[in-house]
Amino acid sequence: MLADAARGFLDESAPVAHLRGLRDAGKRHDPALWKAMADMGWAGILLPESAGGSDMGHAAAGVLAAEMGKTLATSPFLSTAVIAATALRQVADDRAAQAMAKIASGEVTYALAIDEGRKFAPEATDMQATRDGNGFRLNGTKTFVVDGAQADRLLVLARTDAGLTLFDLPADRDGITREARAMIDSRDAAQVDFSDVAATGDDVLGKVDDAMAVLKPALEAGQAALAAEMSGVAAGAFGMTVGYLKERKQFGTLIGSFQALQHRAADLWCQCEVTASAIAHAGRMLDSDPENATLAVSLAKARATATAKAAVIEGVQMHGGIGMTDEFDMGFFMKRARAGAEWLGDYGYHAEQVARLRGF
């Protein structure tokens, strides 16, 4: 029921043509679309009812993310409603409760500022938060901050005296400079510079020197939801390709009747189904046993990355020359698959996680 409702809304309000329109207009975010999503309760899907959320869980968040992937809907759902919401849920204080309520209402959006190098590596964070009286001074640069140019607040990972600390900062605080950088899929991924940015103890999310206690569940929630979105990307590309095979004729014959193309389509369908199963399992693990969900989450992200790549490559090839043109939508799916592959850990990162946890 949730999937059907989401599909109906997205087909009408955020089809692929909507993304094309945003790109052509030089925009990377549609506040009205996000407000509509929040009004339907999507922003609070992982938040408790006390904060205005519905507390439906990670499996349900994956359902929404997958439907968004099918139409390439552009929104801060992953960074705000999934990652930030999960991080705030780890902290039981009034400030976190107020922040969650603002997320659920759609009033505030977040971005995650952790990456510094070319690859996802939170533990290798080098940005410094030095002691300054009862507070800190942050200096450094964060790259690939998805939704960072539009976000109201930033979750910032920095190195303190004895470990890593996570800060929840307003994006307009003195010393923070954001440079919007469009990704290949026309979404926002900013570079954020921190120059002597003041932070107090109230800005710390969780405990000083213990960021991963808050950040690890949030990252795994984001990775699982991103995997679900990428499975939606694969499904959207697959559906478009099968539709074309049923319509395109060569020498008076539907190309869908060619056995070689049938085999390729059948193989891709099997990959999509196996990946959907892995993603559903990751959602169940996050809901029922989050302390032991890492293997399921990394397996889902690795499979979703590989499946989305296969789906868009097959889509372009089976469409032939038209698949390479900007006027045709398949290229948008290919670009989203490529950007999603890098965010929150690429195939190699998650394959290594799976191998390590399986004892190889």
pLDDT tens digits, 132-148? 999 999 999 999 999 99
3-class secondary structure per residue, 10-65:
HHHHCCHHHHHHHHHCCCCCCHHHHHHHHHCCHHHCCCCHHHCCCCCCHHHHHHHH
301 band by pLDDT with thresholds 50, 70 and 90: very high
Q: What domains can be seen in the chain, in order of their start residue? A: 2-108 (1.10.540.10), 111-203 (2.40.110.10), 212-357 (1.20.140.10)
pLDDT at 249 over 90: no
The residues that bridge with 138 in the sheet, in sequence order, are 129, 197
Rounded mean pLDDT of 38-58? 96
Confidence band (pLDDT; 50, 70, 90) for 182?
confident
Query: Which residues face 193 on adjacent strands?
Result: 141, 177
**pLDDT at position 108:** 97
For position 242, what pLDDT does the model report?
93
How many Cβ atoms are within 10 Å of 360's Cβ, its own excluded?
7
Report d(CA 114, CA 345) in Å as an integer: 12
How many CB atoms lie under 10 A from the CB of residue 265? 17
Report the pLDDT value the prediction gives residue 197, as an integer from 0 to 100.
97
On the question of pLDDT at 354 being above 90, the answer is yes
Angle, CA of 141, 147 and 151, to the nearest 5°? 85
Contact in structure between 246 and 239 (CB atoms under 8 Å): no
- At 58 the pLDDT is 98
Number of Cβ atoms within 10 Å of the Cβ of 267: 12
The mean pLDDT value of the chain amounts to 95
Under 8 Å between Cβ of 178 and 148: yes
Least confident of 25-34, 35-44, 54-63, 201-210: 25-34
CA atoms within 13 A on the CB side of 161: 6
Residues 272 and 232 sit within 8 Å (Cβ to Cβ): no
What percentage of the chain reaches a pLDDT higher than 70?
Answer: 100
State the Cα–Cα distance between residues 4 and 182, nearest whole angstrom: 31
Q: Which pLDDT band holds residue 158 (cuts at 50, 70, 90)?
A: very high
pLDDT > 90: percent of the chain? 89
CA 99 – CA 205 distance, rounded (Å): 11
Give the rounded distance of the alpha carbon of 298 from its chain centre: 14
pLDDT reported for residue 321: 80
Quick one: pLDDT band at residue 181, thresholds 50, 70, 90? confident
Mean pLDDT of 278-306: 98
Q: Say if residue 293's pLDDT is above 90.
A: yes
Q: What is the pLDDT of residues 320-331, one digit of tens each?
A: 888 888 888 999
* Token reading at 151: 């976000």
Within a 10 A sphere around the Cβ of 236, how many other Cβ atoms?
Answer: 27
In tens, the pLDDT along 328-345 reads: 899 999 999 999 999 999
pTM of the entire structure? 0.96
- Following DSSP, what letter does each residue of 194-216 receive, concatenated? EEEEEE-GGGBSS-TT-THHHHH
Instruction: Give strand pairing partners of 153.
Output: 110, 170
Contact present, 6 and 67 (Cβ < 8 Å): yes
